Amino acid sequence: MALRSIDHLRALLDHLDGDERSHQLAFFQAVLEAGPDSIAELDARLPGARAPRALRLLATEASFYFPWPGWVRMHQRLLRNEPDREIFLTGVRALGRLGTEEALEVLRELSIMRQEGEFQEILAEVLNRTHPQEAFSHHLARLLLGSANAAAANEAAQRLSGLVDGGSIAALMTVARHPDLLVFRHALALLAQIQTPEAAGALREIFADSHREALADRRIKEELAAMRGAAPAAAAAAAFTALEALEADPARAADADGFLGTFYREVLAAAQDGRPGPLAAALDQAAEDLRARSRRLGYALDTAAEGLAEMALRGLADRAEVLGLLVQAQRHQSGKEGVARALARVVPADAQEIHQLQSAAREFARRGTGESSP
């Protein structure tokens, strides 16, 4: 019976008019009767895009209607170079419906090979629906392209916004340490979008670390001003004394291991031979590093602050704790507009001291921009 069925399919394919409705119905019936044996026959007649479009479309439609595992290798060969959007869409959906590890591997391969925008969109849609975790990994990898391919990274961030949940926090915390500013900003914004107590804890950690680093950078800026023009021996003595005090204080271990401790060590290394040139170069590099970090830290503080304020209002973060963090940042002017907006959302109406602090901060900001008081 199977032999007669496959012979019937071959005879049909030899005279197939893929655009004729009666031929299409006969094709699907013949494929169903021949069963998985029909896959090899169809695969042999599909040498990529050179096969008639109607046959390529019918074959991919059959693979969707009859989800037999044997279709996977046919799709792997066909979809690598398939130029037709409808055929590509049907084939990818068929792979998603199969749901096997082998089918998923082909989807992974296609997501790397087929970088065209419309085909990436199809793959994203199918992965999101059939393999959410795989979709997350796929888009996260594209986000990591960062500034080298900003369009792809921005698109990936948009896709990720519909996928992130509590299970994404650990990965996003890792990505939030990425040196590329575009990657970092997207990771932080995605973290702030997850409305869970665990996400609030992650934002609280980022906020506290960024506040500490902003204060450390302020200290580095002061040290740079003092060391410019100083003799290498004097700069080395100052750096040694400051580093020794930093390392002796257990409460400042993070600063000793962070930017501030690194700055003092680099000054000591540059000043050790007594020549002014290496010291000047080290100070110039430190100033450049400060400028690069300034935007990053400002964005981190503002984004984390607004995310924490939202979560505090939703009961996902301790409001008093969030208020304390925001007050400290406002008092030390470590954040920018986002910190001020966040503080305004969570401050109690009767907290006169904090309201006075807010007024002072607004006045300070007006003076910084040259505006006059109202």
Residue 105 has a CB neighbour count (10 Å cut-off) of 13
Specify the pLDDT at position 62. Answer: 93
Name which residue leads in pLDDT, 172 or 369: 172
Give the integer Cα–Cα distance in Å for 4 and 23. Answer: 19
Give the integer Cα–Cα distance in Å for 137 and 353. Answer: 47
Both tokens assigned to 167: 């299970």
Our CA angle for 191, 193, 197, nearest 5°, is 75
Q: Is 340 helix (H, G, I), strand (E, B) or coil?
A: helix
End-to-end Cα spacing for the chain:
92
Give the integer Cα–Cα distance in Å for 168 and 34. Answer: 45
Range 284-288, long-range pairs (CB < 8 A, 24+ positions) = 286/220, 286/224, 287/224
Mean pLDDT of the chain: 88
Give the integer Cα–Cα distance in Å for 365 and 362. Answer: 5
Q: Is the per-residue pLDDT at 75 higher than 70? A: yes
Which of left, alpha, beta for 274 (phi over 0: left; psi -120 to 50: alpha)? left
Q: What fold characterizes domain 2-196?
A: Leucine-rich Repeat Variant (1.25.10)
Give the integer Cα–Cα distance in Å for 301 and 338. Answer: 7
Please, which pLDDT band fits residue 1 given cuts at 50, 70 and 90?
very low
pLDDT in tens, 107-158: 888 887 887 878 888 888 888 888 787 788 888 988 999 999 998 899 889 9
Containing H/E element for 333? none
Q: Is the per-residue pLDDT at 190 higher than 90? A: yes
What is this structure's pTM?
0.70
Q: Taking the domains of the chain in order of start, what are their residue ranges? A: 2-196, 199-369
